[in-house]
Chain A
Amino acid sequence: MRSTVISGLAELSAMKSSGDVTALGLYCQVAREAAADAGLERGEIDGLLIHTPFDGFSLYWPTVLADTLNLKLGFFDVVELGGASAAGMVWRAAAAIEAGLCNHVLCLTADVFTGLGGVRDLMPGQRQEYEMPYGASPPNGYYAMVARRHMHQYGTRPEQLAKIAVDQRTNAMATPGALFGSKPLTIDDVLNSPMVCDPLHLFEVVSPCSGGAGVVVSRRSAAKSAHAPISILGAGEAGSHLNIARRPDITHSWAQDSAAKAFAMAGLKAADMDVAQLYDCYTIAVLILLEDLGFCAKGQGGAFVAGHDLTWSGDFPCNTSGGQLSYGQPGGAGGMIPVVETVRQLMGRAGERQVLNASKGVAHGNGGVMADEVTLVLAN
């Protein structure tokens, strides 16, 4: 993928409500902002990847958006890997460009939060029939079971998980547009927040909201951005079951496989990364990804987060825009946060929270209950 780059980005502020604006409206806004950021005119965009928004499933979604924006496309598709969709778009766009299908691909995510009912109705039948009667249809229950198992097998402590939320909150306070960027958190605040699904507390669980984000993947020779383009050094994707509960050991995820592929392609390892942006629907997801991507050994995630400063100015900058836990989870756009923030840091555009000398970063998306995993290794 060395002949392709990420040439632009856009990210809307997280909103509790988008008012009358639909996901289609947010998609259009993100598309215009991302194209402008990449220095591209409408006629130069010839690729489009999106995910299915919650507020209105329809066939031909990419065509609907192309029609609305008056785009003439040579490559368009839906990427549906839950929270891994955004990261999954990036390498698909790069592959399409390398195959000669197009030059500039908009990779876009947007969602408006319309209540959990809409989300539920889009869930696979297996979940509705086999999991909901046990109260476990929601991801909450499964991530809580993973957390309890991790605590049992490795002695991971609630305050170690809570520290992830605390450090990410500090990052959000330096991030314009974050939904929870005004008030700091302490470990006690997290542990004293209401139990949502024991052992996970309220501040360890993402808050759904509305928003949108995207990047532009371009042929390197055609990139026009005023910003230094970002190289895609490696990509890996892995998964097989809808649910991690089917794995022999639920404290390991397919992220081990996606990360191994991505780092091997890049010729780098986890320790070479200057920033890590890891999908964080729950604190336990971050902990498992830290282990599975190779930042520490399996079972050492608790000690790792306790022993490192995960803030933007710390010794291990992680989820430097606050992640979904503190920026907010705008549906499918939540999965774009790791991608956009990695690109922003590597372009040197992170403002107050800029990580000094950041040249390499990993962005990781996770869909389902640690089910669909996509790792991207990026560099400036």
Chain B
Amino acid sequence: MQRCQGCSHWHWPAVSRCSECGAWDPPWQDVPIEGAVFSWATTWHPFGGTEAIGVPYTTVLVALPHADNRRLLGLWEGEEGELSMGAAVVGSVGATMVGKTEVPSLRWRLAR
């Protein structure tokens, strides 16, 4: 993730300039893909644009303790019944088809 060299603010989505202090091109820093479940939702009826993901699928919002608890979205790889608020999870990078384009996307599962 991007972390501002001027004010240490974490950015997601990526920015070319820090919204807090105005520094240009905040550098990227490796962050462990692990965090705690903040909320989730299971889609049974897609709204559009997500047809490539078979329903039902669960989208999780995960707070990253190593990045000031900034929250990242991701697809849930486990059973929905495993999810609970605050559960420790780890992520990996997969890919999702959006229209004809393959886009990298995070996948989360329970930390073991």
One digit per residue, 1 when the CB lies within 8 angstroms of any chain B CB and 0 when it does not, for chain A 120-136 equals: 10000010111111111
Check: B90 CB closer than 8 A to any chain A CB.
no
Contact at A144–B13, with CB atoms within 8 Å?
Answer: no
Q: Which of A128, A137, A202 has the most CB of B within 10 A?
A: A137
Is B73 touching A131 in the complex (CB atoms < 8 A)?
yes
Q: Which residue of A lies closest to B108 (CB)?
A: A134
Chain A neighbourhood of B71, CB < 8 A: 245-246
Closest chain B residue, CB of each to CB of A142: B41
Interface contact B41-A140, CB-CB below 8 Å:
yes
Within 8 A of A (CB), among B27-55: 38-50, 53
Smallest CB separation, A118 vs chain B (Å):
10
User: Is the beta-carbon distance between B98 and A133 smaller than 8 angstroms?
Assistant: yes
Which of A188-236 touch B at CB < 8 Å? Answer: 194-200, 202
Contact A141 B59 (CB under 8 A): yes
- The answer to whether A197 and B98 touch across the interface, beta carbons within 8 angstroms, is no
Is B39 a contact partner of A250 (Cβ separation < 8 A)? yes
Residues in A whose Cβ lies below 8 Å from that of B56: 198
Main secondary structure of the interface of A (DSSP, over half): helix
Residue of A with least CB distance to B38: A149
Q: In the complex, A197 Cα to B45 Cα: how many Å?
A: 7
Instruction: Give the contacts of A291-332 with B (CB-CB under 8 A).
Output: none
Residue A21 CB within 8 A of the other chain: no
Question: What separation, in Å, do the CA atoms of A144 and B60 have in the docked complex?
Answer: 11
CA distance A251 to B61 in the complex (A): 14
Given known pairs A136-B59, A148-B39, the reply for A196 and B96 (CB within 8 Å) is no
What number of B residues sit within 8 Å (CB to CB) of A?
Answer: 33
In the complex, the answer to whether B39 meets A116 with C-beta atoms within 8 Å is no
Give CA–CA (A196, B85) in the complex, Å.
21
Task: Name which residue of chain A comes closest to B61, CB basis.
Answer: A145
State A245–B56 Cα separation when bound (angstroms): 22
Say whether B61 contacts A245, CB under 8 Å: yes
CB distance from A137 to the nearest CB of B (A): 5
Name the B residues within 8 Å of A119 (CB-CB): 48
Does B110 touch A at the CB level, under 8 Å?
no
Task: Please judge, given known A-B contacts A135-B57, A152-B85, whether A197 and B13 are in contact too, CB under 8 Å.
Answer: no
* Distance of B46 from chain A, by nearest CB (Å): 7
A43 in the interface (beta carbon within 8 A)? no
A246 to B11, CA, bound (A): 11
Assembly CA distance A195 to B39 (angstroms): 17
Contact status A140-B43, CB under 8 Å: yes
Residues on B with C-beta less than 8 A from A9 are: none
Residue B74 is within 8 A (CB to CB) of chain A in the complex:
yes
Contact A138 B50 (CB under 8 A): yes
CB distance from A56 to the nearest CB of B (A): 18
User: Does A162 sit at the interface, judged by CB under 8 A?
Assistant: no
Q: What residues of chain B lie closer than 8 Å to A202, measured between beta carbons?
A: 45
- Complex contact A135–B53 (CB within 8 A): yes
- Complex interface: chain B residues within 8 A of A145 (CB): 39-41, 59, 61
Residues of B within 8 A of A196 (CB): 43-45
B95: A residues at CB distance < 8 A = 133
Residues of A within 8 A of B45 (CB): 140, 194-197, 202
How many angstroms between the C-alpha atoms of A142 and B59 in the bound complex? Answer: 9
What A residues does B1 contact at CB under 8 A?
Answer: none
Instruction: Among A116, A134, A198, point to the contact of B106 (Cβ < 8 A).
Output: A134
Interface of chain B residues 59 through 98 with chain A (CB within 8 A)? 59, 61, 71, 73-75, 80, 85, 95-96, 98
Q: Decide: B103 and A129 in contact? CB cutoff 8 A.
A: yes
**Does the CB pair A144–B73 fall under 8 Å?**
no
Closest 6 CB pairs of A and B: A138-B47, A144-B41, A116-B48, A133-B105, A145-B39, A198-B42
A-B contact pairs, 28 of them (CB 8 A): A128-B49, A129-B103, A130-B73, A132-B103, A133-B104, A134-B59, A135-B50, A135-B53, A135-B59, A136-B41, A136-B59, A136-B73, A137-B48, A140-B41, A140-B43, A144-B43, A145-B41, A146-B39, A194-B44, A194-B45, A195-B42, A195-B44, A195-B45, A196-B45, A198-B44, A200-B41, A245-B61, A250-B39
- Please report B residues at the A interface, Cβ cutoff 8 Å: 12-13, 38-50, 53, 56-57, 59, 61, 71, 73-75, 80, 85, 95-96, 98, 103-106
Q: A149-B85, A197-B44, A198-B42 are in contact. List 19 more A-B contacts (CB 8 A).
A: A117-B48, A119-B48, A120-B48, A128-B49, A130-B13, A132-B49, A133-B104, A134-B73, A134-B74, A137-B48, A142-B41, A144-B43, A145-B39, A194-B44, A195-B45, A197-B41, A198-B43, A200-B41, A245-B73
